[in-house]
């Protein structure tokens, strides 16, 4: 059954992993179904919390933005189509693609263990790929995953999960987190410029609409 030829193409949200030094794309994780809702929280970074009156209107940096979403993964259609991977593992590969975003690789863990065993004085924390949360062509946002939870709701005869709900929590990485020269910093600045461009398109209000003829 083909879709109506005039119907718009449905874009999918997802996460793109890139090398933070070269910006080369390493992996793309597309959500099977777009979330029905997406919540964003912005926390202002005021210059002073100590009551200094001269600092009341100053901002010391960009707002701290967090994003939360719920999405579903369902293998029903693929099972009916006879997909070999789904028959063998259910939706475990899709879950693993998301879960491993929160882990260092086994190679990194083994390397750090070796360095520690050799008496290296300082073993640096392991750097991961840079995740970009993509939700439409104009929202490509550098993020750090802060939490992930999954509720597996159905299983095949081999106890592979075949339906699950996932919850993702992310914090937007700003120049305060990574600086201007980091790839995430330039992506954040682009994200902020897009906000400023949208602000310019918003219809301006009037004092009359607020019941005022002027500012007292």
Q: What is the DSSP letter of 10?
A: P
Question: How does residue 122 score in pLDDT terms, banded at 50, 70 and 90?
Answer: low
Tokens representing residue 134 in the block: 């993509």
Residue 33: partners with Cβ closer than 8 Å, 6 or more residues away: 71, 72, 73, 74
Q: What is the pLDDT of residue 65?
A: 97
Torsion 83-85-86-88 (CA) sign? positive
Q: What is the pLDDT of residue 113?
A: 85
DSSP string, 75-141: -HHHHHTT-HHHHHHTTHHHHHHHHGGGS--HHHHHHHHHHHHTT-S--PPPP-PEEEEESSTT-EE
Residue 12 pLDDT > 80: yes
What fold characterizes domain 19-45+59-105+126-199? Elongation Factor Tu (Ef-tu); domain 3 (2.40.30)
Residue 117 pLDDT > 90: no
Q: How far is CA 7 from CA 12, 137, 207, in A?
A: 15, 18, 42
Residue 8 pLDDT > 70: no
Encode pLDDT of 54-70 as tens digits. 777 888 899 999 999 99
Residue predicted with more confidence, 132 or 5: 132
Cα–Cα distance measured from residue 99 to residue 162, given in angstroms and rounded to the nearest whole number: 16
Q: What is the pLDDT of residue 82?
A: 86
Question: How does residue 1 score in pLDDT terms, banded at 50, 70 and 90?
Answer: very low
Residue showing tokens 């360095």: 115
Spatial contact of 133 and 67, defined as CB atoms under 8 Å apart: yes
Mean pLDDT in residue range 139-168:
95
Mean pLDDT in residue range 130-156:
95
Residue predicted with more confidence, 79 or 14: 14
Residue showing tokens 């718009």: 8
Question: How does residue 29 score in pLDDT terms, banded at 50, 70 and 90?
Answer: very high
Domain parsing of the chain, residue ranges: 19-45+59-105+126-199
Residue predicted with more confidence, 85 or 56: 85
Q: State whether residue 195 is helix, strand or coil.
A: helix
Write out the H or E segment, with its range, that includes residue 186. helix 183-201
């Amino acid at each position: 059954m083909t879709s109506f030829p005039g119907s718009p193409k449905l874009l999918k949200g997802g996460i793109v992993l890139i090398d933070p030094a070269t910006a080369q794309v390493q992996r793309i994780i597309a959500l099977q179904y777009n979330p029905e809702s997406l919540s964003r929280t912005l926390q202002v970074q005021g210059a002073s919390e100590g009551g200094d009156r001269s600092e009341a209107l100053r901002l010391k940096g960009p707002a701290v933005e967090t994003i939360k979403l719920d999405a579903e993964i369902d293998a029903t259609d693929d099972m009916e189509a006879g997909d070999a991977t789904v028959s063998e593992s259910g939706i475990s590969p899709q879950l693993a693609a998301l879960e491993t975003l929160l882990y260092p690789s086994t190679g990194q863990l083994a390397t750090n263990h070796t360095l520690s065993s050799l008496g290296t004085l300082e073993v640096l924390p392991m750097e991961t790929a840079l995740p970009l949360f993509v939700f439409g062509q104009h929202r490509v946002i550098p993020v750090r995953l802060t939490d992930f939870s999954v509720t597996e709701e159905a299983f095949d005869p081999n106890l592979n999960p075949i339906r699950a709900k996932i919850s993702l929590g992310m914090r937007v990485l700003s120049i305060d987190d990574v600086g201007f020269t980091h790839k995430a910093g330039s992506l954040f600045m682009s994200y902020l410029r897009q906000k400023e461009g949208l602000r310019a398109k918003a219809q301006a209000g009037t004092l009359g609409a607020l019941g005022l003829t002027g500012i007292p």
